[in-house]
Structure 1
Amino acid sequence: MKRIVLFLATNFAILIVLSITLRILGVESILDDQGVNLDLTALLIFAAVFGFGGSFISLAISKWMAKKTMKVHVIDKPRNATEQWLLETVTRQAREAGIGMPEVGIYDSPDPNAFATGMSKNNALVAVSTGLMQNMGQGEVEAVLGHEVGHVANGDMVTLALIQGVVNTFVIFLSRVIGHFVDRVIFKNESGHGPAFWITAIVAEIVLAILASIIVFWFSRQREFRADEAGARFASREKMIGALESLARASGRPVDMPDQMAAFGIRGGMAQGLKKLFMSHPPIEQRIAALRANG
């Protein structure tokens, strides 16, 4: 629920920033054709600029943000045999995947987890927690690394940013169209935008953001199945299943990652009922079943 609230707050902030910026730049007069009709072409262009702009700025800084928020130690020169093995394993998997060598890091957390992020296939970061290294055998860790390399090779971060950009664009666009309709048709405001426009646009933004986020979370769940297949390919199916079974034993623990990073981790949270629609990860038992079915 906390993640949903954060998502809504972010989209609400986008609308407010968009509205203030358009007013400061005098763009409101461009979006209104002669102060009566909404210029849909101009509105769509500006909604796309803000929708995709925010999404890709977030992607561009994702690796930097991950390093700072998770306090990731990037392995430049291995300090021990474990770090040497991590580098060698990711190097091999990246070569097999046909991508550039990602940065490899470790962050201090008892939560057994790992994540991958970055702007492109050749500019990524793969990081594992100390809890994962302590709770899994080497074969299982190898599968987890393969899972994360699979995310990078599949271009999941870029694709997710594109989907989020499209979603943001149409949420911004449709919320203003609805606001314009209510302002003109129901409240009979004949020029400019009255309070009804802004109130309706904000309410529509929230409702549409909730509905649209279901699409984003659905894609996020599908990418986990594909990454699990990559882990099975780069390590073995048995090792990937073993890694997921280890994660299942930790499923009662809260995910020790900031909300903006949680969707990138290999271990998601748990949810019941309608909350399942807003999960970034499928239930682990479904992921294990999918691997066994495709074996």
Structure 2
Amino acid sequence: MNTMRTAMLLAFMTALFMGVGFLIGGRGGMMIAFVAAAAMNFFSYWNSDKMVLRSYHAQEVDERTAPEFYVMVRDLARNAGLPMPKVYVFDSPQPNAFATGRNPENAAVAASTGLLQRLTPEEVAGVMAHELAHIENGDTLTMTITATLAGAISMLSNIAFLFSGGRDNRNNPLGVIGVIVAMIVAPLAATLVQMAISRTREYAADRRGAEICGQPRWLASALQKIAGDASRIENVDAERNPATAHMFIINPLNGQRMDNLFSTHPDTRNRVEALLAMNDIGPKGSTPAEPTAKATRRAQSVPKTGWGRGNSSPPQGPWS
């Protein structure tokens, strides 16, 4: 199912490239766009995760550089029955996180310094369990490729703008009208592709994430905090790369909190209500919570600089 979904996405993106190429340069533009799309599809499959991580200047961490965070992810991955993903931290005051990678064997999770500094260890565990759920569900390949190709489609609007400055483009059968249509369609298409990533996946990842960490309330509390901070703390890199917004657990762009057709994420209140409707998952649940509980107990004794650069004090859990 995930393979078919990814194949359909790539086919749609290729057709979209060709259509915009035709509007800009006629048959010649369409053929150039086809070749470019084919090359980009191949490149995106193997490298889109690296491109996304690079765009956020994410730094890989390990048990030596971020022991509490790394051990927490390791315990959660064990709970989920997943291979240990690579663990990254990116510098942003906005609390947020995302997952990427073409499959569970080549996956990565990334958290912002704001997330590690502003949330309790339990809430961080809930967030990372959600991201691991995306990896387990096979969402990360589709989401990462979408982010890369949507950004590329947006760049076509700049190409269209350059064409519009020319005196004459006889290769374009629609003339100036075709260029104007391309200028409008390209950025709109980037948004539509983001929305093609079904928002129901967030609900599924929330539920599975609650099972992985064993406590739905941890994730519910984290979502409320992240949503509140995301609306007032700017994520500069996300604003520069809006095509990646759907990859985050909460939309990192300002002013998009509505649960409607044009939102990349479900309304946070709906997600929280769904989580609170779940019973806490203890030893009787399908996934044990003990490894994660151990990780968060270890986090209680974190040194002052253990959770993020510039953190003035260790995060305090609700047990304090």
Q: What is the TM-score normalised by the length of structure 1?
A: 0.65
2:127 aligns to what? 144
2:232 aligns to what? 252
Instruction: Give yes or no for contact 2:23–2:179 (8 Å, CA) kept in 1.
Output: no
Alpha-carbon distance, 1:74 to partner: 0.7
Alpha-carbon distance, 1:104 to partner: 0.5
1:102 aligns to what? 85
Tell me the distance in 2 between the aligned counterparts of 1:231 and 1:105: 19
2:207 aligns to what? 229
1:288 alignment partner, one of 272, 277, 284: 272
1:239 aligns to what? 218
Task: Tell me which amino acid in the other structure corresponds to 1:196.
Answer: P
Tell me the distance in 1 between the aligned counterparts of 2:249 and 2:86: 17
Secondary structure in 2 aligned to 1:257?
Answer: helix
Tell me if 1:154 matches 2:113.
Answer: no
From the superposition, tell whether residues 114 and 204 of structure 1 become closer, same or farther in structure 2 (CA, over 3 Å): same
Tell me the distance in 1 between the aligned counterparts of 2:173 and 2:28: 17
Alpha-carbon distance, 1:98 to partner: 3.2
Q: What whole-Å deviation, never above 9, does each CA across 1:27-86 have from its counterpart, x for those lacking one? A: 69xxxxxxxxxxxxxxxxx95x7656535533432332233222222113423xxx2222
The count of corresponding residues between Structure 1 and Structure 2 is 239
Tell me the distance in 1 between the aligned counterparts of 2:257 and 2:144: 27
From the superposition, tell whether residues 211 and 257 of structure 1 become closer, same or farther in structure 2 (CA, over 3 Å): closer
Q: What whole-Å deviation, never above 9, does each CA across 1:123-143 have from its counterpart, x for those lacking one? A: 111111111111111100000
Tell me if 1:115 matches 2:98.
Answer: yes
Task: Tell me which amino acid in the other structure corresponds to 2:244.
Answer: M
Task: Tell me which amino acid in the other structure corresponds to 2:275.
Answer: L
**What is the RMSD of the two structures over their aligned residues, measured on CA atoms?**
4.0
Tell me the distance in 2 between the aligned counterparts of 1:78 and 1:162: 31
From the superposition, tell whether residues 201 and 245 of structure 1 become closer, same or farther in structure 2 (CA, over 3 Å): same
Secondary structure in 2 aligned to 1:65?
Answer: helix
Task: Tell me which amino acid in the other structure corresponds to 1:233.
Answer: E
1:61 aligns to what? 47
What residue ranges of structure 2 are gaps of 5+ in the alignment? 1-15, 151-169, 280-320
Q: What is the TM-score normalised by the length of structure 2?
A: 0.60
1:75 alignment partner, one of 61, 74, 78: 61
What residue ranges of structure 1 are gaps of 5+ in the alignment? 1-10, 29-45, 168-192
Instruction: Give yes or no for contact 2:93–2:112 (8 Å, CA) kept in 1.
Output: yes
1:172 aligns to what? none
Secondary structure in 1 aligned to 2:115?
Answer: helix
Tell me the distance in 2 between the aligned counterparts of 1:158 and 1:113: 19
2:173 aligns to what? 196
From the superposition, tell whether residues 138 and 254 of structure 1 become closer, same or farther in structure 2 (CA, over 3 Å): same
1:279 aligns to what? 263
Alpha-carbon distance, 1:23 to partner: 3.1
User: For the pair shown, which has the larger CA radius of gyration, 1 or 2?
Assistant: 1
Tell me the distance in 2 between the aligned counterparts of 1:272 and 1:166: 21
Instruction: Give yes or no for contact 1:132–1:141 (8 Å, CA) kept in 2.
Output: yes
Task: Tell me which amino acid in the other structure corresponds to 2:222.
Answer: A
Secondary structure in 1 aligned to 2:271?
Answer: helix
Tell me the distance in 2 between the aligned counterparts of 1:155 and 1:288: 23
Instruction: Give yes or no for contact 2:95–2:115 (8 Å, CA) kept in 1.
Output: yes
Task: Tell me which amino acid in the other structure corresponds to 1:286.
Answer: N
2:28 alignment partner, one of 23, 30, 45: 23
Alpha-carbon distance, 1:202 to partner: 5.1
Tell me the distance in 1 between the aligned counterparts of 2:209 and 2:146: 24
From the superposition, tell whether residues 238 and 78 of structure 1 become closer, same or farther in structure 2 (CA, over 3 Å): same
Instruction: Give yes or no for contact 2:119–2:222 (8 Å, CA) kept in 1.
Output: yes
Q: Percent identity?
A: 29
Instruction: Give yes or no for contact 1:116–1:127 (8 Å, CA) kept in 2.
Output: yes
2:67 aligns to what? 84
Tell me the distance in 2 between the aligned counterparts of 1:68 and 1:111: 18
Alpha-carbon distance, 1:114 to partner: 0.9
Alpha-carbon distance, 1:203 to partner: 5.6
Task: Tell me which amino acid in the other structure corresponds to 1:15.
Answer: V
From the superposition, tell whether residues 112 and 164 of structure 1 become closer, same or farther in structure 2 (CA, over 3 Å): closer
Secondary structure in 2 aligned to 1:126?
Answer: strand
Tell me the distance in 2 between the aligned counterparts of 1:120 and 1:213: 25
